[in-house]
Amino acid sequence: MTIPIALTIAGSDSSGGAGIQADLKTFAALGVYGASVITALTAQNTTGVSGIHPVPAAFVAAQIDAVFGDLDVKAVKIGMVAQLASIEAIAAALARWSPAHVVLDPVMVATSGDLLLAPDAVAGLRAKLVPRATLLTPNLPEAAALLDEPVASGEAAIAGQGRRLLALGCPAVLVKGGHGQGPESIDYLITASGTIALPAPRIATDNTHGTGCSLSSAIAALLAKGEALETAVRQAKAWISAAIAAADRLEVGHGHGPIHHFHRFY
């Protein structure tokens, strides 16, 4: 049996709800073999992040080369990169291995509000990794931070920010609407061809830890399986909505609990 393989390049979440752990759960839930490159260790739980220990950039590169040197990676998801040196190492490795699909989730702040990216690394992320991505998946605050603009409100303003993000060098942007208001959470897929609105009912739950990580890794998993970009985004959106809706079935931690990655199975 040949199984599609996806690689996540991200930080480790010691509580298992976000980061590398969420990505590997997502890959498994969607029938994809997951490999991982750890950029940072975090001491965190559902209530917050108490420590970050970046992995040396040379060892990040060594992990990437080890994976690509042996495995037939069909898609890459990039999450928490932690520091500028790691961004540079990842960009150089992507240039070496030229994966077909790169989903870049520009993780800057955890669900708890803790900062996960050094301020001096934002410019490096913008200049070195965004142009290497086939899809960029910022939430509304991340899109604003990448452009050094206020957070957008309303479809026209969000689409405008998406087009300006395209100008940074990536062919597609998915601006996530989870931080918005109203009865629907609307994501916007923006390409040179136009803007597609992807609405879903806004679910009332505090258990959203790892939502962004899991959506981007779901898209990467579906791309690894051969789906077209729009199809992958639509299917990933449906899957993440169901995982959020099932989150309250789990009782994990005392803060923002995880989504239910395996809602289809139990």
- Which position among 42, 46, 137, 208 bears the catalytic label? 208
- Helix 140-147 and helix 155-166: axis angle, to 10°? 50
| CA 158/CA 190 separation, integer angstroms | 10
Q: Which residue, among 135, 139, 4, has the nearest Cα to 74 in the 3D structure?
A: 4
End-to-end CA distance of the chain: 25
Q: Name residue, tokens 């990580």.
A: 213
Catalytic residue among 26, 177, 213, 237: 213
Task: Reduce the DSSP state of residue 29 to 3 states and report it.
Answer: helix
What is the C-alpha to C-alpha distance for residues 148 and 150, in angstroms, rounded to an integer? 7
Residue 176 is among the residues annotated as catalytic for this protein = yes
Which residue, 159, 127, 160, is CA-closest to 146? 127
Catalytic residue among 211, 225, 237, 257: 211
208 is catalytic: yes
Q: How far apart are CA 13 and CA 215, in angstroms?
A: 16
Q: Is there a catalytic annotation at residue 213?
A: yes
Query: Residues 77, 128, 176, 237: which is the catalytic one?
Result: 176
Tokens of 86: 């790691």
Let me know how many helices (H) and strands (E) the chain has, helices first.
Answer: 8, 9
211 is catalytic: yes
Give the residue among 13, 57, 65 at the shortest CA–CA distance from 39.
Answer: 57
Selected catalytic residue, list 34, 124, 212, 257: 212
Identify the residue whose tokens are 């208001």. 181
Q: Of 39, 210, 237, 257, which one is the catalytic site residue?
A: 210
How do strand 194-201 and strand 184-191 relate by DSSP bridges? antiparallel
Query: Which sequence positions are flagged as catalytic?
Result: 176, 208, 210-213
